[in-house]
Structure 1
Amino acid sequence: MQEPLPRSGRLPAHLKIKYGPVDLLGRFFLWADTAARDLGVTLSFGSLQDLLEANRSNSDSWRPLVPVFDEALGGVTPETAFVLIGRNKHGEVVTTQAGRIFDWPETSLKDEAASLRMFFADPDAAFARGDRCKITTPIAEKINGRVVFSGAVWYRRDFRGKDLASIQSRIGRAYAFTRWNSDFTIGMMADGVIAGGLAERAGYTKIERSCIELVASPLGEMRCGLGWMPSDELLADLATMMGRVAVPVIESRVAEEANH
């Protein structure tokens, strides 16, 4: 069983690079942690309960969590998910993001979404409530293997418009890759969010607009698009970013612990 992730100290000091290029990922994590701090956000790992509490405490600006990240409804566990929490200088939660790994060697995103197995531990009960999901883009049939669902993205109103998405989203994808050796990362975003440019700012290389009809308790009904990228493009995106930013020199255990 995986040990709990520490929540204090610099984020890179708690990251072990199990998969992927150590130099690139180590430099990226150092840069991203510092870039977030420069914007007034200190990132750390949290628990699924932390995420649920943050969601409930900010219901005025945040819809209920998609059941993928709900332990009771979705069957997610600490071994199959991670939670990033961003706090301001007062220790208040101002940003969140989470990721969950799915292993679909013999099936696909299209099948897992339509069957509701992706969202609920008890799909039959979900169908009985009227929940459903339909994905019309053909690419959903080809997204399989080790697939990371990236979601639970929220920024407090006073931390929006600071370009945190370009930092935090990449941290989430990179961490998921180095932890699980993912084949794909996907994210479902409301049409209005995509229209506002968030998917591009978050670094997704592929965006399928308005291709998902989702009804999922307790989230409700949404018309969504799909952001997705294979892991080779994930690494290429990080390499491009690292080629145009200055990476701070900070003492870290990232490289030292990479293969331990």
Structure 2
Amino acid sequence: MTIHDTFTGAQFATEIARIAQDMGITLQLGSDFQIYSDIIKEHRPEQPLGEPFDPEIQDVNHKNAFWITGWDRQGRLVHTQAMRQFHLATTLADFLDQGFRDFPPTGLPLDLEKSRYLPGPGARLIRGLSCYHGEAWLKGGENGFRGTGIAGALARFALANTVLRWSPDYIFGFMPERHAFRGLVEREGYMHSDPGALYWHMLDSAEVLRGYMVWMGSEDLAHMMSIPPETLVH
């Protein structure tokens, strides 16, 4: 990453933090996942901590992961995100062929034996220093912030901070199909997606939760950070 890219990324992230502050959200970054786990248990019990960031089962620390929380003016948790890096000697498709069950949607009774991963062209391309983007949550309802446009800005805040910390080759994440159909891929700033990547089967049910894999490369990320973030919010 060039000095110009670093400066642009820092300006981009700072501007989003200012926009969030103006809307009543104070952003906090950290890398102690025991602290993050405690925050989730106390303030977001309806959506448990995702397995990829659970310090009880994963080695997540300041070298390979960080989290973001957002708090409103009343001190309520209104937003979360997290990033974790992987050094892939092979393709992401090969990595997920055996490891996709380590990235389940939280709080659902899943039949992991029946669940399937089908790699798309993006997963066959991705390798090297790759970061997983998860834990995305924004409070809705009467005191929430959904529908304001801030969700897209906050996603870009996480992406920009990942570039500034690690300058990854790729960033990837997973998204329920129903959210992708509503345009969330584009709203979060992702420029590529692999439809039909995940099929999560429910226990004792015929229901299947279908998922997209979303991703971007380093050139995509640089382009994203060149677009003024103030155009994202209403």
Whether TM exceeds 0.5 here: the answer is yes
- Do the aligned partners of 1:114 and 1:132 also contact (CA within 8 Å) in 2? no
2-side partners of 1:75 and 1:215: how far apart?
27
Counterpart of 2:8?
Answer: 24
Counterpart of 2:166?
Answer: 180
Q: Give 1:35's match in structure 2, choosing from 13, 16, 19.
A: 19
Give matches, 1:1-260, under 5 Å: 21-46=5-30, 47-56=32-41, 57-60=43-46, 62=47, 64-104=48-88, 106-116=89-99, 119=102, 130=113, 133-157=116-140, 158-214=144-200, 222-241=209-228
- Do the aligned partners of 2:6 and 2:164 also contact (CA within 8 Å) in 1? no
Structure with more of its chain in strand, by fraction? 2
Normalising by the residue count of structure 1, what TM-score does the alignment of the two structures yield? 0.73
The structure-2 alpha-carbon separation of the partners of 1:58 and 1:131, relative to structure 1 and needing over 3 Å to count, comes to: farther
2-side partners of 1:51 and 1:161: how far apart?
26
RMSD value, Cα: 2.9
Normalising by the residue count of structure 2, what TM-score does the alignment of the two structures yield? 0.81
> 1:143: Cα distance to partner?
0.7
Secondary structure at 2:225 match in 1 = helix
2-side partners of 1:109 and 1:24: how far apart?
29
Structure 1 gap segments, 5+ residues each? 1-16, 121-128, 246-260
2-side partners of 1:108 and 1:213: how far apart?
20
- Do the aligned partners of 1:51 and 1:96 also contact (CA within 8 Å) in 2? no
Counterpart of 2:106?
Answer: none
Equivalent AA in structure 1 for residue 223 of structure 2? A
> 1:174: Cα distance to partner?
1.2
Query: What is the identity percentage for the equivalent residue pairs of Structure 1 and Structure 2?
Result: 26
The structure-2 alpha-carbon separation of the partners of 1:73 and 1:199, relative to structure 1 and needing over 3 Å to count, comes to: same
Structure 2 gap segments, 5+ residues each? 104-111, 203-207
- Do the aligned partners of 1:165 and 1:198 also contact (CA within 8 Å) in 2? no
Between 1 and 2, higher relative CO (CA 8 Å, sep ≥ 6) is seen in: 1
The structure-2 alpha-carbon separation of the partners of 1:20 and 1:134, relative to structure 1 and needing over 3 Å to count, comes to: farther
